[in-house]
């Protein structure tokens, strides 16, 4: 696979294993591969946390913040539920908040029980969700993306946030938990009438590319529709075919809006603005290639799989933040990153948290459409071979 280094950016495949000595890490403190599942760790567990979770009758999963932070933190919920099962602690689990439907698609949450829960209540989620519901809880667990370090064990680093959250919770609970990399759960797909309608009118044909235009930080992270169209044109021309480009925008405040643009020589463009995330989970696995900035919908695209860990290639664009931390860790979730993003990855740094001003003003124009097209073509060839 090309490194696209000639234009000052580099490709990082999702299946790449990062050696522990190559990046700044915190040792996990034990050889994870050498410990049997369910065995106590050679580290002291958090006694108070273990005591309170052991007496819980209900776990409330509460996320209210950003979509991306929520998706990348679900492995922390997975760790707590794994621990409860290993300890044979019977609890009722329910989800609240705007992401309850998405979380239900992970399969992490058991079916609701008809019996009234007995015992304490535990709340786990982001800070806003926990603060909204945790005042009467016996234990509240905040999954803060800034908290867990980049762990290293068995000679490898675990830089992605799902791995960080899962392993941090494992250490606190003091038992070798069952999950292994990749730690991110997947979002199961379902039959979807809107997706079938798009298919019936030809938008999910021989070559369709989804591009994420939504972002919470447009002045820094908007790759722009024009660049995505140029990317699709390069790919379509190289493959001597007509491409369908789905531009996935954010919520404009007035519901779903679908707009077809005038066809170009090699590309037909369909704008999908305000499409609910439930629909996107069902749509993304029907695409051949997905490209997006470092934002929640790109993480959603990587986690939306028709079967376990098997989805179309997803390319995230990282100009300023660490390309390894802000990824799912799934093998089909790749990154193209600038030198600044590489340095943030190597030092486990954050330009916002650590107040690191870049020596040059790095924006999304660091990624020429021709270079992205080269990577996209190689990924498409790999899938088809």
Q: Which domain holds residue 39?
A: 31-185
Q: Are residues 164 and 202 in the same domain?
A: no
Last residue in a domain, options 162, 185, 208: 185
pLDDT of residue 265: 87
Is 24 contained in some domain?
Answer: no
pLDDT of residue 354: 85
Q: Are residues 242 and 208 in the same domain?
A: yes
Is 21 contained in some domain?
Answer: no
Is 159 contained in some domain?
Answer: yes
Q: Are residues 204 and 266 in the same domain?
A: yes
Is 266 contained in some domain?
Answer: yes
Q: Are residues 225 and 129 in the same domain?
A: no
Q: Are residues 178 and 202 in the same domain?
A: no
Q: Are residues 322 and 176 in the same domain?
A: no
Is 22 contained in some domain?
Answer: no
Q: Are residues 214 and 174 in the same domain?
A: no
* pLDDT digits (tens), the chain, 385 positions: 555 655 689 999 999 999 999 999 999 999 999 999 999 999 999 999 999 999 999 999 999 999 999 999 999 999 999 999 999 999 999 999 999 999 999 999 987 665 667 789 999 999 999 999 867 899 999 999 999 999 999 999 999 999 999 999 999 999 999 999 999 999 999 999 999 999 999 999 889 999 999 876 666 778 999 999 999 999 999 999 999 999 999 876 778 999 999 888 899 999 999 999 999 999 999 999 999 999 999 999 999 987 666 789 999 999 989 999 999 999 999 999 999 999 999 999 998 888 887 666 667 889 999 999 999 999 999 887 6
pLDDT of residue 285: 96
Q: Are residues 111 and 234 in the same domain?
A: no
Is 338 contained in some domain?
Answer: yes
Last residue in a domain, options 185, 204, 219: 185
Query: What is this structure's pTM?
Result: 0.95
Last residue in a domain, options 166, 185, 204: 185
- What CATH number is given to the structural domain containing 370? 3.40.50.2000
**For the chain, how many structural domains are there in total?**
2
Confirm if 255 and 243 have CB atoms less than 8 A apart: no
Q: Are residues 342 and 218 in the same domain?
A: yes
Q: Are residues 35 and 151 in the same domain?
A: yes
Q: Are residues 110 and 9 in the same domain?
A: no
Is 198 contained in some domain?
Answer: yes
Q: Are residues 357 and 220 in the same domain?
A: yes
Is 233 contained in some domain?
Answer: yes
């Amino acid at each position: 696979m090309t490194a696209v280094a000639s234009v000052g950016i580099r490709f990082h495949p999702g299946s790449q294993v990062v050696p522990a000595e190559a990046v700044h890490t915190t040792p996990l403190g034990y050889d994870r591969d050498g410990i049997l599942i369910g065995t106590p760790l050679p580290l002291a567990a958090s006694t108070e946390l273990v005591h309170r979770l052991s007496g819980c009758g209900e776990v409330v999963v509460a996320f209210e913040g950003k979509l991306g932070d929520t998706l990348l933190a679900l492995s922390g919920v997975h760790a707590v539920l794994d621990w409860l099962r290993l300890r044979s602690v019977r609890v009722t689990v329910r989800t609240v908040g705007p992401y309850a439907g998405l979380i239900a698609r992970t399969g992490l949450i058991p079916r609701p029980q008809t019996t009234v829960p007995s015992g304490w209540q535990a709340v786990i989620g982001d800070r806003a969700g926990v603060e909204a519901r945790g005042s009467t809880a016996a234990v509240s667990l905040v999954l803060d993306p800034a908290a867990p370090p980049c762990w290293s064990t068995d000679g490898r680093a675990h830089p992605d946030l799902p791995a960080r959250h899962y392993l941090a919770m494992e250490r606190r609970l003091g038992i070798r938990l069952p999950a292994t990399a990749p730690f991110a759960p997947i979002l199961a797909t379902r039959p979807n009438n809107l997706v079938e309608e798009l298919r019936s009118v030809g938008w999910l044909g021989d070559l369709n590319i989804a591009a994420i235009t939504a972002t919470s930080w447009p002045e820094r992270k908007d790759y722009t529709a024009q660049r995505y169209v140029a990317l699709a044109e390069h790919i379509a021309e190289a493959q001597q075919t007509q491409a369908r480009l789905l531009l996935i925008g954010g919520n404009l405040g007035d519901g779903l809006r679908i707009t077809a643009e005038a066809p170009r020589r090699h590309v037909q463009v369909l704008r999908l603005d305000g499409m609910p995330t439930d629909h996107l989970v069902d749509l993304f696995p029907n695409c051949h290639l997905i490209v997006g900035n470092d934002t929640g919908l790109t993480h959603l695209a990587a986690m939306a799989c028709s079967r376990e860990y098997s989805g179309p290639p997803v390319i995230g664009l990282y100009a300023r933040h660490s390309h390894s931390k802000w990824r799912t860790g799934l093998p089909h979730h790749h990154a193209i990153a600038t030198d600044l993003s590489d340095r943030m990855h190597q030092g486990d740094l954050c330009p916002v948290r650590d107040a690191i001003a870049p020596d040059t003003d790095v924006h999304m124009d660091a990624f020429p459409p021709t270079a992205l097209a080269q990577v996209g073509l190689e990924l498409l060839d790999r899938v088809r071979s």
